[in-house]
Amino acid sequence: VLWVKDGKMAIQRLVESNINLSSISIQRATLEEAYLNMIED
């Protein structure tokens, strides 16, 4: 059935974009932390 396949692909894309978003926010938090540490030193 075609629409089931499309639905699975859409869900997979959502999951992938969520993973990308969370990894970006983790990277940003790490960068901010490193920046704050630099200022303190």
Per the structure, the count of domains in the chain is 1
Q: So what's the pLDDT on residue 25?
A: 87
For tokens 């303190």, the residue is 40
Question: Would you say residue 41 has pLDDT above 70?
Answer: no
Please list the alpha-helical segments (H only) found in 1-41.
2-40
Which tokens belong to 26?
A: 């983790």
**pLDDT tens-digit map of 21-33:** 888 888 999 999 9
Which percentage of the chain shows pLDDT scores above 70?
95
Q: How confident is the model at residue 3 (pLDDT cuts 50, 70, 90)?
A: confident
Host domain of residue 15: 1-41
